[in-house]
Amino acid sequence: MNNTQLKCLSVFAIFAIIGFGPVSPGCLIGMYVVIIRPNWFLQLVYDLYSNPMHQGLIVPQNIRIKVFLCLLILFIIDIAPVPVTPVIAFVIILSRPQWFLHVVKSVYSHPR
């Protein structure tokens, strides 16, 4: 486990605790990332995966819309008494699946 994983797990542990209310901070930050595409998030993913991102992806044109809608659905589901988003984030942070890396590359691949 690398240092970035530990930091991300700590942040999402806090999100899990404060996420028992009607607002999901993880989803809100995710929606911000999909719309604004800040450089700090891309660097965070680089650090999380600890390998360079590959070029030459075939990217669907509407990937940002799909990711935003998924986060919006998670945001609505998170209103329930149990926060769902931090649990999903824990799995992504610990297992570092290739599909997540592909989604991030796809979101950041379109020009601003």
The pLDDT mean for the chain works out to 82
Per-residue confidence (pLDDT) for residue 20, from 0 to 100: 65
Q: Is the pLDDT of residue 73 over 70?
A: yes
Task: List, as one string, the DSSP characters of 5-50.
Answer: HHHHHHHHHHHHHHTTSS--HHHHHHHHHHHH--HHHHHHHHHHHT
Asked if pLDDT for residue 9 goes beyond 70, the answer is: yes
Domain ranges, residue 63: 3-109
Q: What is the pLDDT of residue 79?
A: 75
Across 8-21, average pLDDT: 82
Q: Domain tally for the chain? A: 1
For residue 58, pLDDT beyond 60: no
**Residues 13, 94: contact at Cβ < 8 Å?**
no
pTM, full prediction: 0.76
Percent of the chain with pLDDT over 90: 26
**89 φ/ψ angles, rounded to the nearest 5 degrees:** -65, -40
Q: What pLDDT was estimated at residue 104?
A: 92
The percent of the chain in helix, strand and coil, each rounded to the nearest 5, is 70, 0, 30
Rounded distance, CA 65 to CA 28, Å?
15
Euclidean distance between CA atoms 49 and 40, whole angstroms: 14
Q: What is the pLDDT of residue 100?
A: 92
